[in-house]
Structure 1
Amino acid sequence: VCLGRRRGGAVETLWRAPGSHGGILLPISISGGEDLSLVVWPGVFTQVNPQVNLMLIEVLTSWAGQIAPRSILDLYAGMGNLSLAMAAMTDHVTAVEVDPRAVANGIANSRRLGVENVTWVHGPAAGELSRMVARGERFDLVILDPPRSGVRELMGPLLALKARAILYVSCEPSTLARDLGHLVSEGGYRLERLQPLDMFPQTFHLESVSLLVAQGRVV
């Protein structure tokens, strides 16, 4: 049982059930069909609908499997919802997250599950991506799961990265349309697939997954 202020402030644990691992369990399915559970600590972001989250991961792993990426960059990684689901299908995942508690939660999940090919980076997505581009780092696949504001702040370094493919998870159609427009018109990507998901039933909110592939690449 945890209490926290509605906006900001620390989350205080009042009581912990035996065997709870200090958080709620979030089921995920990884490539190959294996079912796992992540521990989500109090105050750390996670998707609100566990069943639709499983559908989201199924779509992402299916599409990513057709790309066969050797390296994945997961921006806005949270506590590892997507990074850890993708880890089994690639040589290495770099997970970038600005919330230090989410990073610590992700590292704990990696250790708990015995996942050794995910590197956690604490910092803002735009700044860390710019540094990676400056160092000449390359990734086959980039996963974007930004807040409602989208990825305008990192569009420059994202285009400079020249990844083979991008998987964009969005909860805001207007900023998604804006960002897809830039990626197609300025980045030379083509929109290969788009899948809506009813993450928030009986509301006007909509989750979606988009697959963008660099021109000249075949999926």
Structure 2
Amino acid sequence: MSRRRRRSRLPQGEFEAHIDDMAHDGRGVARVNDKATFIQGGLPGERVRFRYLKTGKRHDEGVVTEVLEAAPDRVAPRCPHYAICGGCSLQHLDPAAQIAAKQAVLLDNLRKLGQVEPGEVWVPLTAEPWGYRRKARLGVKRVPKKGRVLVGFRERGSSKVAELDECHVLHPRVGRILPQLSELIEGFSIRDRLPQIEMAMDDERCVLIFRHLEPFSEADLERLRRFGHEHDIVPYLQPGGPDTVAPLDPPGVDLRYALPSQGLELGFLPGDFTQVNTAINRQMVDRAMQLLAPQPHETALDLFCGVGNFTLPLARHAREVVGVEGDAGLVSRARENARRNGLDNVAFYTANLYEELEPAAWQDRQYDIALLDPPRSGAQPILPLLPRLGVQRILYISCYPGTLARDAGELVRDHGYRLLGAGVMDMFPHTGHVESIALFERG
């Protein structure tokens, strides 16, 4: 007898449901046949028709096919590809309502997962919700049945590349030339061996990194060179891992972004991590300085510091600043950025903050304030170190409310800090991503 588990058949046809709530990823939540059902495209308060996408023991999944009673905040998606493309998940919800929902997600996580309440809830940071993305990774796939190369985000719930003519969340420099990119790649000799394009922009220039699994021909390179000139794009090539990224025509460009209110300009490489939304990043840095309020007599610690996005603004106000980052390349860029901006009161160290720390000079001193900007997995391994280093105030920047809530609970319960306030920032409009900020004080 076969041991393969039989795949349960999906209920066929369309079904009605009342959307009661919104999940953390932006899907509507309904109870159908006494089971939680996550329905893409449904908003709280709506009555909808939907079809099933997946069934499971604990919950089912579906997608709206018709809205029978619409919520007041429902809007028509701007993008004609919205129903298919996985780059966005909330275009059907008014942008003001999107950020309100994200604030609710943050507070719900803090309350339920962290068992903490912020003393204050701050007004969300918002900016223009269209054409904001300056960093993105786009899939590339030649599909003979469609007679073209597809360039764009993946389809929702699939590994397939969505068929796009334009993207309204990418910066227009790239969002409006997807068909031209498709045509360019269709003409390459290695059109089937180019799986990805990575976009990186500073305040003015745009780099596109072409990942290729076989060498380009000379004719390909000349086509790419002409494309760059015509569309004001700087082509880079990536034949292997991230360390193989190099400009098509050396020396390439020196990418930089400004933090005008801080009087700073930071350089970075096309493959470096930087925030995707320049307008929100500038507001975020300014709010971080206002909340953490570094004083001329204080010493600051910036963990997960990257290229110095927060470290250098801290150095403008504090007596001394130490930045720690696990990526040696980013540390090198951070040091160069400090020199570029004439800051000599800042030091950078390379250390993996998720592993047991090797003894280092930065751990042998006391700090007044700390800023944490960890990846999605959060900062839990490093939390016990903060009170030992004497840190009195902590500002935590988070890209995932679940790990922020977990870490907030530990800081409050185990390490003697209070959660003074928290709020969200609309770093990724039209998506379920929640970027947030929280301030802690000891004692």
Q: Which TM-score band (shorter chain)?
A: 0.7 to 0.9
Distance 2:403 2:369 in 1: 21
TM-score by length of 2: 0.44
Is residue 78 of structure 1 aligned with residue 306 of structure 2?
A: yes
1:154-193 counterparts in 2 under 5 A? 154-193=382-421
The verdict on how the C-alpha distance between 1:42 and 1:134 changes in structure 2, with shifts beyond 3 A counting, is closer
Distance 1:96 1:54 in 2: 21
Report the 3-state secondary structure (helix = DSSP H, G, I; strand = E; otherwise coil) of the residue aligned with 1:3. strand
Structure 2 unaligned blocks of 5 or more? 1-234
Structure 1 unaligned blocks of 5 or more? none
> For residues 1-58 of structure 1, what are the alpha-carbon distances to aligned partners after superposition, in whole Å with 9 as ceiling and x for unaligned?
323379745322223588x4x2x221214xxx44322111122111110100001001
Computed over aligned residues only, the root mean square deviation of the Cα atoms, in angstroms, reads: 2.5
Equivalent residue pairs, number: 209
Distance 1:134 1:108 in 2: 19
Is residue 4 of structure 1 aligned with residue 224 of structure 2?
A: no
- Asked if structure 2 preserves the Cα contact closer than 8 Å seen for 1:129 and 1:157, the reply is no
TM-score by length of 1: 0.85
155-164 vs 133-142, greater mean Cα deviation: 133-142
Amino acid at match of 2:258: P
Distance 1:188 1:4 in 2: 47
Distance 1:40 1:107 in 2: 11
For 1:112, the equivalent position in structure 2 comes to 340
2:247 corresponds, among 7, 10, 13, to 13
> For residues 54-109 of structure 1, what are the alpha-carbon distances to aligned partners after superposition, in whole Å with 9 as ceiling and x for unaligned?
01001101112276661000000001111011111111110101111111111111
Report the 3-state secondary structure (helix = DSSP H, G, I; strand = E; otherwise coil) of the residue aligned with 2:367. coil
The verdict on how the C-alpha distance between 1:43 and 1:126 changes in structure 2, with shifts beyond 3 A counting, is same
173-182 vs 131-140, greater mean Cα deviation: 131-140
Q: CA deviation at 1:111?
A: 1.0
Report the 3-state secondary structure (helix = DSSP H, G, I; strand = E; otherwise coil) of the residue aligned with 1:149. coil
Distance 1:90 1:190 in 2: 23
Answer 1 or 2: which has greater helix percent.
1
Is residue 49 of structure 1 aligned with residue 277 of structure 2?
A: yes
The verdict on how the C-alpha distance between 1:51 and 1:35 changes in structure 2, with shifts beyond 3 A counting, is same
For 1:62, the equivalent position in structure 2 comes to 290
1:113-128 counterparts in 2 under 5 A? 113-126=341-354
Amino acid at match of 1:191: L
The verdict on how the C-alpha distance between 1:173 and 1:135 changes in structure 2, with shifts beyond 3 A counting, is closer
For 2:258, the equivalent position in structure 1 comes to 27
Q: CA deviation at 1:122?
A: 1.3
For 2:150, the equivalent position in structure 1 comes to none
For 1:103, the equivalent position in structure 2 comes to 331
Distance 1:87 1:128 in 2: 27
> For residues 190-209 of structure 1, what are the alpha-carbon distances to aligned partners after superposition, in whole Å with 9 as ceiling and x for unaligned?
00111210001100101111
Distance 2:427 2:239 in 1: 25
Q: CA deviation at 1:156?
A: 2.5
Distance 1:209 1:6 in 2: 36
Distance 1:126 1:69 in 2: 30
Distance 1:12 1:198 in 2: 32
Q: CA deviation at 1:161?
A: 2.5
Identical-pair percentage: 34
Amino acid at match of 1:124: N
